[in-house]
């Protein structure tokens, strides 16, 4: 079953916590999303590139504060994260 990056982020936020640094596993995420582990892992790396998630080599992952704030924006539309130039416009 295909899974979107956005749904992975939502599930990750539900299963982990940025402030308490609680993690979940890719395996658990894939099971909760009824998705292929490799697809979930691929999306996690994409989310990490956006500063929205932290994925570790041991197969655990958690949402970041940035990821939680993005979900609070409650936008299901086009989203681009320009993480490498955080202060470019300020």
Partner 1 sequence: MTGNEPDEPTAESRAVQYDPESSRYDLYECPDCDNIVLALGRDEPPMSCHDNPMERVTDMEMSVQPPDVKQVLLQAFGLPKAGLDICLCVIGEGPLSANEVAESLGYDRSTITRYLSKLVELGLLERSELNREAGGVVNVYHSVDLERMRRETLIGFYVWAGEAAALIEDANLTKQDYLEGNPDQDLPDIFWESFPDR
Under 8 Å between Cβ of 29 and 15: yes
Under 8 Å between Cβ of 27 and 36: no
Q: How far is the CB of 82 from partner 1 (least distance, A)?
A: 4
Per DSSP, 84 falls in state S
* Residue 12 binds partner 1 (CB under 8 A): no
Q: How far apart are CA 83 and CA 69, in angstroms?
A: 14
Q: How far apart are CA 11 and CA 82, in angstroms?
A: 22
* Residue 85 binds partner 1 (CB under 8 A): yes
Q: Which is nearer to partner 1, 31 or 79 (CB)?
A: 79
Interaction residues for partner 1, span 14-53 (CB under 8 A): 18, 46-47, 49-52
Site residue total, partner 1 (CB under 8 A): 31
Q: What is the CA radius of gyration of the chain?
A: 13
Residue ranges in contact with partner 1 by CB under 8 A: 5-6, 9, 18, 46-47, 49-52, 64-66, 69-70, 73, 75, 77-90
């Amino acid at each position: 079953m295909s899974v979107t990056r956005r749904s992975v982020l939502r599930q990750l936020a539900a299963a982990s916590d940025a402030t308490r640094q609680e993690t979940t596993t890719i395996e658990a995420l894939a099971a909760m999303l009824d998705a292929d582990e490799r697809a979930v892992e691929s999306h996690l790396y994409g989310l990490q590139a956006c500063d929205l998630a932290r994925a570790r080599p041991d197969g655990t992952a958690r949402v970041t504060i940035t990821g939680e704030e993005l979900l609070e924006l409650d936008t299901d539309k086009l989203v681009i994260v320009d993480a490498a130039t955080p202060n470019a416009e300020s």
